[in-house]
Structure 1
Amino acid sequence: MTALRATTSTPAQPDADSPNSARPQAFWSIVMRREILIKLTDKAFIFGTALTVAIIAGVLAFSTWRGERTTTYTVANLPADTAMVEASAKLASSIDDKVVIHPRTYPDSAAATAAVRDGAADAWLHPGGGGWVLTTDGPESSLLNSVQQAVRTTVLERQASRLGTTAAALQAGSTVDAAFLKGDATKANLAKAFGFAFSFLFYMAALMFGIQIANSVVEEKQSRIVEIIATSIPLRHLLAGKVLGNTVLALLQIVVYSGVGLAGMAFTPYRSYVTAFGGPVGWFLVFFVAGFLALASLWAVAGSLASRTEDLQSTTTPLTMIIMVVFFSGMFLDGTAREIASFVPPLSTVLMPIRIVEGGVPLWQPVLALLLLGLFAAGTILVGERLYRRSLLQNRGRVSIRAAWSSAE
């Protein structure tokens, strides 16, 4: 009895850190963490992200510098034309606060022409052709625009004085102002820039991380490692881990880019629009997650259908085309076509956020579009999961979608 008790022991408890002891529902999280850690320790990924951030910051810094830069022009004139040039110089800053004109008098036309040719003066303003001529050594659009308006105003004031009236009275009712149905002109231009950013960011992330998923799957399949993994992890958990891991990485990257863009915008002349565009950026992030999930599982299927990395070009082509269609629809669709397509998955991933940033979209429309996109994502995940499981362990050449769908478990 005593000896029996001595040799009997309690069965050893499995190590909590061992993959074989992990609960089934935790397998996907192990794969997800692995995908994230591999990417975060990849120097190429870190360098590419940092380079993109630097480019965004550089573009915003250049826009700020260009928007606040004041250009000074030296305008030559003959003694008889001094009054006109001085009057134009006074009006130039009110016409364009980035243009400053300094008059400089020369004795004759030959000296004024030589000054422009040698760079001592930027332009020469003189009478000609029944009006005035601005002679320059090259195109100076901002100077020309300011001088044209200044001369027009000065001449009109002189003529109005001779008639015993004022220039304002003569111009009353003759002005044409621009009015936009969706905000002011500046906001409309910014909306176009944000629309391009939304389209490009989705295109870049969906393509880069999608190819990453497909490559990861086919490399594991080609090396036969997946056959070993499949003995410990259910294939649907392997798929979920890859999809969720890359979705987290893609979202983090987009959040970084969006945050840098909005923070940098606060230092530009458009700083007053930061709060107005913060909400649409939030909507874009939500639509981005749903749209990325809708395609991520299909990228995994593209990898599972291939048996070699050389097969990926043919298996991934349909997904590449879909992403390009989404990108170009965001760039070129407009009017009623854009409004209708903004409810069609996966086009709604970028089109609805673009419409939101333009303004005038009732809340029910993005909510409905997001619901439809979510249903589409759920459908692609279910279809992708079945195709992935039934094609991943087949190594006899490239697997067709029909064969994968109809094959046994």
Structure 2
Amino acid sequence: MSSDVEVAADARAGSGGSRASSPARRRRPTVPTLLRVLVVLVVAVLPLYLTSSLLQTGLFCMSAIIGAIGLNLLTGNTGQLSLAHAFFLAVGAYGYAFFAGTAPKIAGGSGASGLALPTVVAAVLAVLLTGALGLLFSPVSSRLRGIYLGIASLALVFVGQHVLFNAESFTGGFNGRSVPTFNLFGFVFDATEPQLYILNVPFGRFERLWYLGLVLVVLSYVFAKNLLRGRPGWAMQMVRDNEIAAAVMGVDVRRYKASAFVLSSMYAGLAGVLFGLTFSRIVPDTFGVDLSIQFLAMIIIGGLGTVGGAALGAVLVVALPQVLSQYGSSVPFLAAPGSGGVDAGSFARYVYGIAIVGFLIFEAGGLAAIGRRIAEAVGRRGRPAPPPAAPAPASAAPDVPASSP
């Protein structure tokens, strides 16, 4: 016997299916879809024009987009507050470095070791490792909610920091460890071999990683959108809105909460792999509480519960300090780092704080809600006005008896 939530999902799908049954309507792409395709095409040609530093910033944004989408599935769509995202990013980054790396040939045998696996296998194993650790934590995440789950997940960050600083044979300790270059079927994502030129532009490490990151972002985005459109998405939103009502409707609340935590951790692991490939070296200080708070800022500013909003918030939170640090000298009120004034990093944190408070008070839907409102306004402006209603004929008007004196 199917559960009530499946019946409700089928009813919603059926109501939309009658409108989409026409072949012409099904083949016609919508305006949001065309905009997404245009964005992907624009991003695809950027390596022909951007410098290496800006490409590195863009790759950092792509890594953050993947991680923010995963956290939004957990917090925005399932209603579980997690502060452990930095921990799972560290697991993904260090897991890839360990699975793909080799022990350095240093006298005395010191240094971080590795298994020397193929890089594709290492990346997949790193993502699966983060999912396995998320599964181990899922009994806690399925029983707690709200601030209690947030504090419990924060413990993972503290434990992870302790391991990263002390397990030197695995992490390299305080100095971190290098990240092996990605190799896909003999094609090395490096600047040396094979040499590659496109339109007389040399494609080095960042240019090659750019397209790898773009593919991972598109796949992560499409998977999350399709997940939220289906029955799991409806069940996750029901758990977020009212756990008791969801349980009455036949939703296995604990199973969906645990599954959302595992999926979110795997997204974070994939983001960690791309993060490590972008910077070539990873250190424990990067994966602290500040990184988890930044991811929360991404989904709040972008819009809780929306995949596109998570992507927008990630770009804003990551790109702003990076761009200010590179071009902050031309901004008169920004001081140099370490001078005691307001530098680019401090100014970016002020902007995040103001943006979070402003969105929570005035626009809880974040940038995604603002974008929808603008799109609706543009659509109404471009749509022709409906013709005025024709007046009713005089013969159709009912006879009104005259009132007696």
Pairwise TM-score range, normalised by the shorter structure? under 0.3
* Structure having the higher Rg: 1
Larger RCO, structure (CA 8 Å, separation 6 or more): 2
Given the two structures, how large is their TM-score scaled by the length of structure 1?
Answer: 0.25
